[in-house]
Structure 1
Amino acid sequence: MRYAIVALLLSSRALAETCPTAPDISVELQALIADANAAPDERNGQVASDQMWQLWLRAPDAAAQEVLDRGMRQRSSFDFAGAYDSFDTLVSYCPDYAEGYNQRAFISFLREDFSAALIDLDRALDLSPDHVGAQSGRALTLMNLGRRDDARAQLEKALANNPWLSERHLLADGAPLGPEGQEL
């Protein structure tokens, strides 16, 4: 009960205040993209990928961080409705923070609402064009919408930023986004 009251107060406070500008992570992100591309193997590539996620998950302020963290805990416990509400609160409070849209898109994806996921992923990428997580999520969303060519092109962009993404296997011969005529 105490947690619910604190969460409600944080959500109310978040909606009443103005979100500060999201930190500019572009220089750090470009360095990590270079690290991922220079990585000699998947293990080293994963280190760069993990560091990218640490950047994206750095919210603009403590209130936003609490809402983001709460939504991620809810998602981890399969409370998709609660997580969606938390990420919706985050997007309302911080409309220029790409990760809020990316996380809300992930919940929509998990709920198989691919059209809603695509709208949020497009907004996340408008705000952060090199967000590899949003790029790969958008590729998977497009694939689920039956837009194979668009999905393939989007995944290729994501892999240009991080060639070690697990989704890279979707481009292999016989895979869903593999060369034409090679589907399983």
Structure 2
Amino acid sequence: MKHILLSLAFAAPALAETCPDVPDYSDELSSLIEAARAAPDEQAGRPISDQMWQVWLRAPDAAAQEVLDRGMRQRNNFDLTGAVATFDQLVTYCPDYAEGYNQRAFSNFLGGNFEAALTDLDAALALSPRHVAAQSGRALTLMNLGRRAEARLQLLAAVENNPWLSERGLLAKGAALGPNGEDI
């Protein structure tokens, strides 16, 4: 057991005492949101969504990027416990980096820990209010918590910022977050 703990300690990069300031990407994201809104169809809008992800996944420094990438690999390999622990390191190191919270929320969501996911999504959105992925993740989390009305409002806000989200189908008539009843 001692050998396993030692190898784990050396497998992770050493993090500096403090994370550098998180760069302000708000102008870049605002431009991407405007481009997504102006896109004439999904074929034109999806690459813009991908560009948004490229912005969110830019960690403040190389050490934070390695931790982020490791946590995402763990999650992709269904090691949700390991991923959450890795994202714990990231949010401790870079508490102002919204994507650390968003990724930990996604790992918790996949593990069915919706309350923890919601807490992290609220933190991510406090740091980056127009983080469309956190908005849609929050909508899905609220939906899984049975808070349908809040989930619908949150997803409407996300779709306002990016009308090409795949989750937009949940807002259709007859869908999980679709309108109640008929309009007169």
Length-normalised TM-score, structure 2: 0.93
Structure 1 residues 115-154: aligned runs within 5 Å:
115-154=115-154
Q: 2:77, 2:148 → 1: CA distance?
A: 32
Structure 1 residues 1-184: aligned runs within 5 Å:
4=8, 6-8=10-12, 10=13, 13-14=14-15, 16-181=16-181
CA deviation after TM superposition for structure 1 residue 145, in Å: 0.6
Q: Structure 1 44/4 Cα, relative in aligned 2: closer, same or farther at 3 Å? A: farther
CA deviation after TM superposition for structure 1 residue 6, in Å: 4.5
Q: 2:119, 2:133 → 1: CA distance?
A: 15
Length-normalised TM-score, structure 1: 0.93
CA deviation after TM superposition for structure 1 residue 179, in Å: 1.1
Q: 1:27, 1:158 → 2: CA distance?
A: 18
Q: State the secondary structure of the residue aligned to 2:168.
A: helix
Higher alpha-carbon deviation: 119-128 or 78-87:
78-87
CA deviation after TM superposition for structure 1 residue 4, in Å: 4.5
Tell me how many residue pairs correspond in the alignment.
Answer: 178
Once the two structures are superposed, residues 99-127 of structure 1 have per-residue CA deviations (whole angstroms, 9 ceiling, x without a partner) of 00000000110011111100000000000
Q: 1:150, 1:77 → 2: CA distance?
A: 31
Q: State the secondary structure of the residue aligned to 1:67.
A: helix
Q: State the secondary structure of the residue aligned to 1:118.
A: helix
Pairwise CA RMSD: 1.6
Q: 2:81, 2:149 → 1: CA distance?
A: 32
Q: State the secondary structure of the residue aligned to 2:179.
A: coil
Q: Which amino acid aligns with 2:33?
A: I
Q: State the secondary structure of the residue aligned to 1:59.
A: coil
Q: State the secondary structure of the residue aligned to 1:180.
A: coil
Once the two structures are superposed, residues 86-107 of structure 1 have per-residue CA deviations (whole angstroms, 9 ceiling, x without a partner) of 1110000000000000000001
Q: 2:10, 2:165 → 1: CA distance?
A: 37
CA deviation after TM superposition for structure 1 residue 17, in Å: 1.4
CA deviation after TM superposition for structure 1 residue 43, in Å: 1.5
CA deviation after TM superposition for structure 1 residue 23, in Å: 1.0
Q: 1:175, 1:153 → 2: CA distance?
A: 14
CA deviation after TM superposition for structure 1 residue 44, in Å: 1.1
